Amino acid sequence: MTGTGIDLKEATQILKNSFLSSLEFLAPEKIMERSARSLPVNQMQGKVVVFGVGKASLSMYSGLRKSIGDRISDAVIITPKNQEKIGGYTELTQLQASHPVPDLTSVESSRIAIQKLKNLGKNDTVILLISGGASSLFEIPAEGITIDEVAFVTKTMMDNGSDIFSLNKVRKALSSVKGGKLIRTIVPAIVYMYIISDVPGDVEETIGSGPVSYSSVDRNEIKTIMERYLPSGTINNQSLLDNMNFDFPSRPEFKDVTSKVILRNSDFVDYISGFLERTGTRVLKLGSGLTGDTVSLSGFISESITKFRDTFGSPFWFVGGGESTVKLSGNGVGGRNQELALRFALQQREFPAAFMAVGTDGTDGNSDLAGAVISSNDIAGATASEITMALNNNDTSPFIKKYGLAIKTGPTGNNVSDIFAGFVGN
In order of their start, the domains of the chain are 8-25+266-424 (3.40.1480.10), 39-263 (3.40.50.10180)
Confidence check: pLDDT of 160 > 60: yes
Mean pLDDT of 254-283: 97
What would you report as the CA-atom Rg of the chain, rounded to the nearest whole angstrom? 22
Confidence check: pLDDT of 184 > 70: yes
> CB neighbours of 88 closer than 8 A, spacing ≥ 6?
none
Mean pLDDT of 48-55: 98
Interatomic CA distance for residues 413 and 49, integer angstroms: 22
Mean pLDDT of 255-282: 97
Would you place residue 281 in the very low, low, confident or very high pLDDT band (cuts 50, 70, 90)? very high
Interatomic CA distance for residues 96 and 102, integer angstroms: 11
What's the DSSP call for residue 304? H
pLDDT cut 70: percent of the chain above it: 99
Q: Say what the pLDDT of residue 231 is.
A: 84
> CB neighbours of 249 closer than 8 A, spacing ≥ 6?
180, 181, 183, 184, 214
Would you place residue 3 in the very low, low, confident or very high pLDDT band (cuts 50, 70, 90)? very low
Adjacency order of strands within the sheet including 48-53? 92-97, 74-80, 48-53, 125-130, 190-196, 257-263
Would you place residue 4 in the very low, low, confident or very high pLDDT band (cuts 50, 70, 90)? low
Yes or no: say if 264 and 197 are a contact pair by the CB < 8 Å rule: yes
Nearest residue to 322 via CA among 297, 348, 351, 350 = 297
Q: Say what the pLDDT of residue 131 is.
A: 96
Strands (E), 2-114: 48-53, 74-80, 92-97
